[in-house]
Amino acid sequence: MWNSSIRFLRIVTTVLRYRLDTFIPIHLLPWYLKYTVGILLSIGRKGRERNRGERLRLALESLGPIFVKFGQILSTRRDLLPDDIADELARLQDRVPPFSGDIACQIIEKDLGESVDTIFNEFDRKPLASASIAQVHTATLKTGESVVVKVIRPNIEKTIKQDIRLLYMLAYFIAKTSTDGRRLRPVEVVQDYEYTILDELDLAKEAANTGLLQRNFDNSDLLYVPQIYWDYSRRNVMVMERISGIPVADIAALRAQNVNMKVLAERGVEIFFTQVFSHSFFHADMHPGNIFVDPSNPEKPKYIAIDCAIMGSLDDADKNYLARNLLAFFKRDYRMVAELHVESGWVPKGTPVHAFESAIRSVCEPMFAKPLKEISFGQVLLGLFQTARRFNMEVQPQLVLLEKTLLNIEGLGRQLYPDLDLWITAKPFLERWMSEQVGPRRLLDEVKKQAPEWAGHLPQIPNLVFSTMTHLSQQENRIQEQTEALNQIRKELRRSRHNQPFKLLGLLALGAAWVTTDNIALEHLADADILSLALFLGGIYLLVLKP
């Protein structure tokens, strides 16, 4: 509790020092807080000479790695943030001092249950790289393989949870006191951050993600994913094959190796669309620090991907939505784009399609003033999401990750090859994928997919057939009985309708007998005249005795 209070005071001091009162609705505070804040703002040494985005970035950097990470994730929410803030937050660097190599050894030994000397022939206690969540050491296994060992920072989970609680406090405060703050959905943003960063604390999950990505690109000449050593991977430790390659951002080194930059850029796009549409599982943290290039075949350079902590996945509905939206956009069919949003349920069903179509056109049409190769897919999606947000579109976390990754891929591709035409590369892929969703091939794929499940039921088929035939036979008997009963009822009804005139005549006859005599009781039948007696007996016959 004491530590939390000190941390909170440091956050408040940082907010005031960097004059982040820009983001705080001071006028809504109680009078005593207004005056207190007004006095404290005098310590804002950084003043307002910097723009608001820069001040926010510097404040987050001064608060340490957890807030830096939060800022990095926040920078991907361009559907919520103004461009000037998002651009500035994207510059946040995850520069964190390393922790002691001896502490890293203690964490490894605790998680693996063996000493470092037993597991490794060599272990470099000086880290190769250090980030906010973990750091990496180089090592050599007893079997001779060169590896890297990723180790989670000590006590980082406690620090993260403490800072997340404080972030929630700030988020709830902003949401309750500021209309603009509510528009940014601060509580939702903190929830997304909590989910993402807590996942990064579990290296067993990252190892599993790496293994799946590796299987998806097994024997591929597009992407290489390093081998995981499962015997030495746990929640706080992960041992992985050490790779060698040129960092993708090192353009000079790539050119020195005569790498075909056009092919390299196009392959990056192909890898992205393959992950999204063919595998439904994509690397969602593909910034330059996580991507290397194998230049051994310069005309067909191969990518190498590391750090699979953050991955995205799309279901068939998501993929169908994206492919159809992008194809409709480049055909300028804004009506289709609007209808797709409504059909998907991502905007309310009652949304007026005409008004939505008009809003989309106003955002997208200016993009076509540029050549197609200059149109950004990421900006297209961003424009669509921002427009849809005005029509109460719910945030789709998987699409936020996709948009972030697509922006990274586009930026990287055009850095490698400025004339990259993403549309020419992507359009055939999208059209091919759409054609595969209908027709015989899709049907065959579905049959193949269901075949194992059907095979499991094969031994039960004879019993199921016998049970079904018995049930059908019983049903047939019941139907026959019900049919006969219905026929009998019909006969009775027809007979009843046929006898109705006779019953009426019977009633008339009795009435006439009553009129013609004052008393036709049984004991006085002899005194009745002949006509009255005839009418009485005829009425009884027609009412009672006639079938």
Q: Is 214 part of any known ligand binding site?
A: no
Q: Is 136 part of any known ligand binding site?
A: yes
Q: Is 451 part of any known ligand binding site?
A: no
Q: Is 175 part of any known ligand binding site?
A: no
Q: Which residues contact 302 (CB under 8 A, 6 or more apart)?
A: 221, 222, 223, 224, 293, 294, 296
**How would DSSP label each residue in 334-346?**
HHHHHHHHHHHTS
CA distances from 104 to 101, 125, 451 (A): 5, 8, 48
Q: Is 150 part of any known ligand binding site?
A: yes
Q: Is 135 part of any known ligand binding site?
A: yes
The 3-state DSSP class for residue 65 equals: helix
The 3-state DSSP class for residue 529 equals: coil
Residue 100 DSSP class: P
**How would DSSP label each residue in 390-449?**
HTTPPP-HHHHHHHHHHHHHHHHHHHH-TT--HHHHHHHHHHHHHHHTSSHHHHHHHHHH
Question: Which one-letter amino acid corresponds to residue 462?
Answer: P
Q: Is 130 part of any known ligand binding site?
A: yes
Of the residues 79, 111, 285, 307, only one is catalytic, namely 285
Q: Is 128 part of any known ligand binding site?
A: yes
Beta bridge partners of 302: 294
- What is the side-by-side strand order in the sheet with 291-294? 223-224, 302-305, 291-294, 246-247
Q: Is 129 part of any known ligand binding site?
A: yes
Structure tokens at 218: 């097994």
Phi, psi of 246 (to 5 degrees): -95, 130
Please check whether residue 181 is in contact with residue 175, taking contact to mean a CB–CB distance below 8 angstroms: yes
285 catalytic per annotation: yes
Binding residues: 128-136, 150
- Binding residue numbers for ATP: 128-136, 150
Residue positions annotated with a catalytic role: 285
